[in-house]
Amino acid sequence: MSVPDYMQCAEDHQTLLVVVQPVGIVSEENFFKIYKRISSVSQISVRDSQRVLYIRYRHHYPPENNEWGDFQTHRKVVGLITITDCFSAKDWPQTFEKFHVQKEIYGSTLYDSRLFVFGLQGEIAEQPRTDVAFYPGYEDCGTVEKRIEDFIESLFIVLESKRLDRATDKSGDKIPLLCVPFEKKDFVGLDTDSRHYKKRCQGRMRKHVGDLCLQAGMLQDSLVHYHMSVELLRSVNDFLWLGAALEGLCSASVIYHYPGGTGGKTGARRFQGSSLPAEAANRHRPGAQEVLIDPGALTTNGINPDTSAEIGRAKNCLSPEDIIDKYKEAISYYSKYKNAGVIELEACVKAVRVLAIQKRSMEASEFLQNAVYINLRQLSEEEKIQRYSILSELYELIGFHRKSAFFKRVAAMQCVAPSISEPGWRACYKLLLETLPGYSLSLDPQDFNKGTHRGWAAVQMRLLHELVYASRRMGNPALSVRHLSFLLQTMLDFLSDQEKKDVTQSLENYTSKCPGTMELITLPDGLTLPPVPFTKLPIVRHVKLLNLPASLRPQKMKSLLGQSVSTKSPFIYSPIIAHNRGEERNRKIDFQWVQGDVCEVQLMVYNPMPFELRVENMGLLTSGVEFESLPAALSLPAESGLYPVTLVGVPQTTGTIAVNGYHTTVFGVFSDCLLDNLPGIKTSGSTVEVIPALPRLQISTSLPRSAHSLQPSSGDEISTNVSVQLYNGETQHLVVKLENIGMEPLEKLEVTSKLLTTKEKLYGDFLSWKLEETLAQFPLQPGKVATFTVSIKVKLDFSCQENLLQDLSDDSISVSGFPLCSPFRQVVRPRVESKPVNPAEGSRPGDLGHVKTLEAILNFKYSGGPGHIEGYYRNLSLGLHVEVEPSVFFTRVSTLPATSARQCHLLLDVFNSTEHELTVSARSNEELVLHAGECQRMAIQVDKFNFESFPESPGEKGQFANSKELEEERQEARGLEINSKLDIHWTIPSLKRTGEASVEGLLSQLVLEHLQLAPLLWDVLVDGQPCDREVAACRVGDPVRLEVRLTNRSPRSVGPFALGVVPFQDHQNGVHTYDLRHAVSFVGSGTFYLDKVRPSGQSACLGALLFLCTGDFFLRIRFHEDSSSKGLPPSWFRLPSVHVRALGTQA
């Protein structure tokens, strides 16, 4: 006996062994179909008793094991069922012959046999035979089970007769010595008459009867027989058989204690097949009633309610603890015989199963440990595998998962041992997979994402390597790629640098043949291998969705803003929302992406490998919106630090897009890494709204780009900067080319400008444009260009530079009311300080400081296409950097009254601060040539201004709460008015540049007052003709009517006034003659009276003069000193002087 049956369990002792075998050519499929049906009949209740017969079917049984049938009867083949195909009657004799040959093999032990013939029809089949059954086909054999039951009953009859025969066989007859095959030669020549020998025979026979009783379903009988046998054999030191008797005792006890069975699957089936355990216990009770001291008187009839039977049973049956002790004892006896190794091994296995049921793992492990050391003869490789597998299963059974995994792995390695000519890689792989739970290794990488590493990395790594190798040898490269990826992903922290290199190298080798995918691999036995995304190659630490660049950022129209403000919560801030961390990752980011525009996501990655990592095809995984991902390839240096990577893509539709992860190809393995599965990743939200497409505008200008970037204020981002250098007062046209480089028509454009805060005082409009011309070219189709012109006008005040002003301020502003006779006077005042600036001076640093800069931003708001309908626009900013150099400026301004009260002379000291010769021209005057650094005075006669007439909207006034500001504003407006009246231009002929010169900054309150029409407007009329400046002619002797009119435009009432008229003659040499009593006489009073004049009222008084001789006379109208005129500025009382030329009578 050399082939151990590792599936043995204690219950097998009560079974009858039936071998089912095919004869001739029977297809495996058909055979097992029938075998299955046959083996379903595994227990039979014998007709007229309550005993149950258990059958164990085998389709293969080594005949040498059969030889041990006397030792343990359940090893004896008692029934043979042969299955055969036979299609013609001609073949029948041959087939039948084969059946007989088959019977011969087990012939010595067979109780009965059957032949099942399939396919044969006809007269042979008609003959009724007990040992042959004919069936037309494998499908049509409904009575197989019935036949088997009959067959088993016939077996039972033989068994029962044998049992009774042996049991009663005690009187006188010589009891034969039962022995196992290897003992036979030991007993040659032994004295058969000795007491010792007799006892031995008796003991062995008792044991045999016990076996038979157990098989025949008489548990209690068997217990009694076993007990007796143990006593007998112990006395004669027949250890082998003593062991068998003890084991029989154990088996019977186990069957009694554990009706559910100990053999795992078969036990479970038996359990279901029978009924409740209580009932199963009842079934054994008939045996209990048969317990009598004299086994020979055993009968099966009647139920004896004698309680002594119960006592007897309890006495005979071993307790659970005893079972183990007896097993130990039995095994120790078996171990004395080298030839009984199989028996010992099987006993160990049986004991372990029992212990597993008893949950005594430690003791079970000792039995198993012993089993490991049982040395059978040289085992074949297949047997070794079987042995290790069963050891693994048994360890599993007692909960030693690691030990189980260890043996499973040994079995797997045995499958591919070098001594095997055809290594079974498939089996090896299958076994290796089964070891995974024992090493707490699952093939799902997700289990390794959270927390610390589970399990023992060193052994896990080894196992994974073996899996890789086995799957490769199996010829399934996809599988090995998957395992290798898994190894790399989960064991990265435990791999040494060299191992990392080796693993990646081999991974690359494999993937060159079979690239790694993200698909689930399903193994034939149903196990699925989830995909392994390389989330650690490279490791991503930070994911950030980037806003579009400022110039492409969509903005919502103001009118629609109200809707977006109303978010779901009515609170501006709520701690509950702020701390809702679960939503953090899915939080919507408060900017938008635009359909059709390239959007970016920034990842911070690093490479944990000790060599350069090439990541190919890295792109984004998104959902919600159709998204065209534009993959990138990158190469990360060895053990790089955090490295920014920008992944881009273009959303093709609108909606809400969620960035779920990214995909990569590393070492030929495709990975889809989802952010949710990445541990320790930082993200500021991954959901963004995509709005409909908008056009894109590109601007280019006529001016050179500037390296000088503006300081962006209040979050403005400037896309382009241009710079220009201008002389003060110059105007330049900036041509902006607007090109629509997007895919949508540009429908709407708005332009605004913003001057960056500057300390400089700026006069006039810095930037002005006419949008209409540009808008006429709209809508601008993609690819089309429109132009837009902006005028840049710089007017700054350079006059405040102290060094220049100092010496010029010595001339006090003349406020004299006297008119100058020479209306246009040029004063060339050579000054030491203001001599022509020599070149050296011109380049001194102080002069550079004169250059002033102005910065402004032009904002282009544009929109179009579907995005416009949704109410979005884009904003493009153009930065403008203007350097202003001083051109001409006025160092001093003063006024001189002109001859007319409504005019005056403005005296301007003009200074040329450029290095070029320039000419200055006022509106109506000739040009004044100024050399570099030269200062000249120019006088311009101007009409006085009526500033009050400027319309000033009351609303605007209201805005200036501060009266000072209001005043400034007003002054500015005045300056503008004055400037436009004066219209002073300069020209640099050498540079061909022209510009305006401005006086605004210089106009002091005093000068302004002079330039302003007084609120009291005095008119003198001579003979009804308004007289101002012009000479009024009259005749000598005729009375001349003189009328003084006052128009009050001041806001209050004035007067009354008394005016006196003083005539005088000017000799043009500085001498005035006032004594003119003989030349001029008044008609009536020489004093005029004016009544009180209300605001905007008018009043007049009349008088007359008589000129007595010819000549030029001047009339000065003077106010009498009167309290009423006090408190009013003197300039209000400026009356024009009247020049009358008295002519002689007509002669």
Partner 1 sequence: MGWILVTSATVILFLQNYPLYIRSVPTENELKFHYMVHTSLDVVDEKISAMGKALVDQRELYLGLLYPTEDYKVYGYVTNSKVKFVMVVDSSNTALRDNEIRSMFRKLHNSYTDVMCNPFYNPGDRIQSRAFDGMVTSMMIQVC
Which residues of the shown chain bind partner 1 in the complex (CB under 8 A)?
361-362, 365, 369, 395, 399-403, 406, 439-440, 452-459, 462
Task: Between 395 and 1113, name the residue whose CB sits nearer to partner 1.
Answer: 395
- Shortest CB 403 distance to partner 1, Å: 5
Contacts of 798 (CB under 8 A, 6+ apart): 728, 850, 852, 886, 889, 913
Q: Could you tell me if 899 and 1029 are in contact, meaning their C-beta atoms sit under 8 angstroms apart?
A: yes
Task: Between 60 and 359, name the residue whose CB sits nearer to partner 1.
Answer: 359
Pairing state of beta strands 643-651 and 599-606? antiparallel
> Among all chains, which residue has been given the structure tokens 């601060």?
913
What SS3 state is found at 1114? Answer: strand
Task: Between 452 and 1005, name the residue whose CB sits nearer to partner 1.
Answer: 452
Task: Between 148 and 364, name the residue whose CB sits nearer to partner 1.
Answer: 364
- Shortest CB 437 distance to partner 1, Å: 13
- 883 DSSP β-pair partners: 725, 853
- Shortest CB 428 distance to partner 1, Å: 17
**Number of other residues whose CB lies within 10 A of the CB of residue 888:** 31
Task: Between 181 and 399, name the residue whose CB sits nearer to partner 1.
Answer: 399
Instruction: Judge residue 290's burial from the number of C-beta atoms within 10 Å of its C-beta, 0-12 exposed, 13-18 middle, 19 or more buried.
Output: buried
Task: Between 317 and 397, name the residue whose CB sits nearer to partner 1.
Answer: 397
Tokens of 827: 């004063």
Q: Could you tell me if 779 and 894 are in contact, meaning their C-beta atoms sit under 8 angstroms apart?
A: no
Task: Between 129 and 462, name the residue whose CB sits nearer to partner 1.
Answer: 462
- Shortest CB 480 distance to partner 1, Å: 21
- Shortest CB 459 distance to partner 1, Å: 5
Q: Where are the alpha helices (DSSP H) in 307-400?
A: 307-316, 320-334, 341-358, 361-373, 381-397
Task: Between 499 and 616, name the residue whose CB sits nearer to partner 1.
Answer: 499
Eight-class DSSP state of 945: B
- Shortest CB 177 distance to partner 1, Å: 40
**Number of other residues whose CB lies within 10 A of the CB of residue 475:** 10
Question: If phi over 0 gives left and psi between -120 and 50 gives alpha, with beta otherwise, what is residue 963?
Answer: alpha
- Shortest CB 699 distance to partner 1, Å: 58
- Shortest CB 344 distance to partner 1, Å: 19
Contacts of 393 (CB under 8 A, 6+ apart): 404
- Shortest CB 549 distance to partner 1, Å: 44
- Shortest CB 405 distance to partner 1, Å: 8
Task: Between 223 and 405, name the residue whose CB sits nearer to partner 1.
Answer: 405
Q: Could you tell me if 746 and 740 are in contact, meaning their C-beta atoms sit under 8 angstroms apart?
A: yes
Q: Where are the alpha helices (DSSP H) in 742-828?
A: 771-775, 802-806
Q: Where are the alpha helices (DSSP H) in 809-953?
A: 839-842, 845-848, 865-869
- Shortest CB 15 distance to partner 1, Å: 32
Q: How far apart are CA 293 and CA 665, in angstroms?
A: 83
- Shortest CB 398 distance to partner 1, Å: 8
Q: Which helix (H) or strand (E) holds 464?
A: helix 457-473
Instruction: Output b/e per residue, 729-763; b: 16+ Cβ within 10 A.
Output: bbbbebebebbbebebbbeebebebeebeeeeebb
Task: Between 436 and 601, name the residue whose CB sits nearer to partner 1.
Answer: 436
- Shortest CB 461 distance to partner 1, Å: 10
Task: Between 402 and 1045, name the residue whose CB sits nearer to partner 1.
Answer: 402
Long-range CB pairs of 835-839 (<8 Å, 24+ gap) are 835/933, 836/931, 836/932, 836/933, 836/934, 837/913, 837/915, 837/932, 837/933, 839/915
- Shortest CB 404 distance to partner 1, Å: 8
Q: How far apart are CA 63 and CA 131, in angstroms?
A: 22
Question: If phi over 0 gives left and psi between -120 and 50 gives alpha, with beta otherwise, what is residue 127?
Answer: beta
Q: Could you tell me if 870 and 692 are in contact, meaning their C-beta atoms sit under 8 angstroms apart?
A: yes
- Shortest CB 493 distance to partner 1, Å: 10
Task: Between 489 and 834, name the residue whose CB sits nearer to partner 1.
Answer: 489
> Among all chains, which residue has been given the structure tokens 């955090």?
642
Task: Between 462 and 829, name the residue whose CB sits nearer to partner 1.
Answer: 462
Nearest to 786 by CA among 882, 860, 693: 860
Task: Between 456 and 1114, name the residue whose CB sits nearer to partner 1.
Answer: 456
Task: Between 437 and 866, name the residue whose CB sits nearer to partner 1.
Answer: 437
Q: How far apart are CA 937 and CA 830, in angstroms?
A: 11
- Shortest CB 539 distance to partner 1, Å: 19
Task: Between 129 and 453, name the residue whose CB sits nearer to partner 1.
Answer: 453
Question: What are the Cα distances from residue 213, in Å, to 44, 180, 226?
Answer: 16, 20, 10
CA angle in degrees (0–180, nearest 5) for 515-521-523 = 130
Task: Between 243 and 445, name the residue whose CB sits nearer to partner 1.
Answer: 445
Question: What are the Cα distances from residue 466, in Å, to 102, 114, 384, 395, 473?
Answer: 45, 49, 19, 22, 10
- Shortest CB 2 distance to partner 1, Å: 24
Q: How far apart are CA 899 and CA 878, in angstroms?
A: 52
Task: Between 362 and 1147, name the residue whose CB sits nearer to partner 1.
Answer: 362
Nearest to 293 by CA among 223, 235, 232: 223
Q: How far apart are CA 149 and CA 147, in angstroms?
A: 5
Q: Is the peptide bond before 779 cis (omega within 30 degrees of 0)?
A: yes
What SS3 state is found at 1124? Answer: helix
- Shortest CB 458 distance to partner 1, Å: 5
